[in-house]
Amino acid sequence: MLRRSLLALSRSDRVKGLVATMPVSSGIVARYVAGESTEDAVRTVGTLADGGLLASLDHLGEDCHDRTQADANVDAYLKLIDALTVSRETGRAEVSVKLSAIGQALGRDGERVAIDNARRICRGADDARTTVTLDMEDHTTTDSTLTILRELRTDFPATGAVVQAYLHRTEQDCRDLAYEGSRVRLCKGAYKEPASVAFQRRMDVDRSYVRCAMVLMAGAGYPMIATHDPRLIDISMMLAKRNGRSTEEFELQMLYGMRPDEQRRLAELGHRMRVYVPYGSQWYGYLMRRLAERPSNVTFFARSLLTK
Ligand code: FAD
């Protein structure tokens, strides 16, 4: 119940207006968001690398309805890629992009704008010898995102896809995406979705996750197992072993600020562990989804608001 309310609030402009002026440095925001600036993001990559961790950086800015802002979001990614190049971090960090931040949410021409903008980011990443992964947003965007992915992969075959185990369609999407060279991040899914398209019970989502992991691990692509769920991590690692995959042939992923000790422990065991690092001032929607997953943090968040 609380989870659904928080997910509904993640789309509320009114509440966003009330809380989104909090600086990233305050309380709970700092726990999940690496900072506001490019420098904060690059510094975080260095700190993670000291612990043997890789990174995927997300410049926050989803649900953008303004063309100028969408273009500014692209510029922020290009600036980030330049800064990673200068710091020699492109071997350890890639970028994650939400298409709604770079044009997909603009209406009639949105898809075309998003493709052109995503192409600019992919070109910059390719020149810097790193990669881009396209985050997956709510189910109304899934077809459009996979269409854009297919188009980008003709020129930039290493562009990563994300699939969400809570969607009924995802096992089939995994079959379609499990081909040579295809990088696929498997997550549970973070949005409020109706029963017509998504499993509603945790157990059904977990079962779907295992079926999808089976398809990806048995396929020819590169699976990226994105979850903090210890059971699903164990099962995925067992499936990797059963399919004869070495630790170079799949990776584990977690979010910045979540289970940091476990991130380092898995890296020390020799696994490729990539941390998803959001940064920037547009943290509201991202943080609300994290609170929906860990309602115990809501009191902590409310306290940060009162002391702001
Ligand atoms: P949950 O169901 O949240 O947790 C399962 C179990 O894991 C818990 O019961 C607990 O035992 C353990 N656990 C979880 N969190 C903690 C914690 N902080 N401390 C201790 N134990 C914990 N979603 C999208 O919709 N689109 C995306 O593009 C996307 N990209 C992602 C990228 C990455 C790298 C990751 C890790 C997640 C991404 N997500 C994305 C979010 C994802 O869909 C889930 O919403 C989120 O990961 C929470 O689900 P979970 O698999 O971690 O399991």
Domains of the chain: 1-33+283-308 (no CATH), 48-271 (3.20.20.220)
Please answer whether residues 141 and 99 qualify as being in contact, where contact means their C-beta atoms are separated by less than 8 angstroms: yes
Q: Please tell me the distance between residue 140's alpha carbon and the centre of ligand 1 in angstroms.
A: 21
- Indicate if 185 belongs to the active site: yes
Pairing state between β 222-226 and 251-255? parallel
Nearest to 90 by CA among 115, 138, 56: 56
The secondary structure element, H or E, covering residue 166 is none
For the record, the structure tokens of 262 come out as: 């476990």
- List beta partners, residue 274: 54, 253
Ligand 1 atom at minimal distance to the Cα of residue 259: 19
Q: Please tell me the distance between residue 102's alpha carbon and the centre of ligand 1 in angstroms.
A: 24
- List beta partners, residue 208: none
Which one of the listed residues 135, 138, 173, 206 is annotated catalytic? 135
Annotated binding-site residue numbers for FAD? 136, 164, 188-190, 227-228
- Amino acid identity, residue 304? S
- Indicate if 176 belongs to the active site: no
Instruction: Using most ligand atoms within 8 A of CB, pick from 162, 202, 228, 273 the residue to mutate for ligand 1.
Output: 228
End-to-end distance of the chain based on CA atoms, in angstroms? 27
Predicted-complex ipTM score: 0.98
In order along its 308 residues, the chain shows pLDDT tens digits of 667 776 676 666 666 666 666 666 567 789 999 999 999 999 999 999 999 999 999 999 999 999 999 999 999 999 999 999 999 998 999 999 999 999 999 998 999 999 999 999 999 999 999 999 999 999 999 999 999 999 999 999 999 999 999 999 999 999 999 999 999 999 999 999 999 999 999 999 999 999 999 999 999 999 999 999 999 999 999 999 999 999 999 999 999 999 999 999 999 999 999 999 999 999 988 988 898 888 677 766 666 665 55
Distance from C-alpha of 94 to C-alpha of 54, rounded to nearest angstrom: 9
Which one of the listed residues 138, 185, 206, 274 is annotated catalytic? 185
Please answer whether residues 118 and 148 qualify as being in contact, where contact means their C-beta atoms are separated by less than 8 angstroms: yes
Distance from C-alpha of 236 to C-alpha of 126, rounded to nearest angstrom: 29
Say how many C-beta atoms besides its own lie within 10 A of residue 308's C-beta: 11
Ligand 1 atom at minimal distance to the Cα of residue 253: 34
Distance from C-alpha of 146 to C-alpha of 174, rounded to nearest angstrom: 12
Query: Kindly report the CA angle at 181 between 54 and 213, in degrees rounded to 5?
Result: 70
Ligand 1 atom at minimal distance to the Cα of residue 230: 7
pTM, 2 dp:
0.93
Annotated binding-site residue numbers? 98, 136, 164, 188-190, 227-228, 289-290
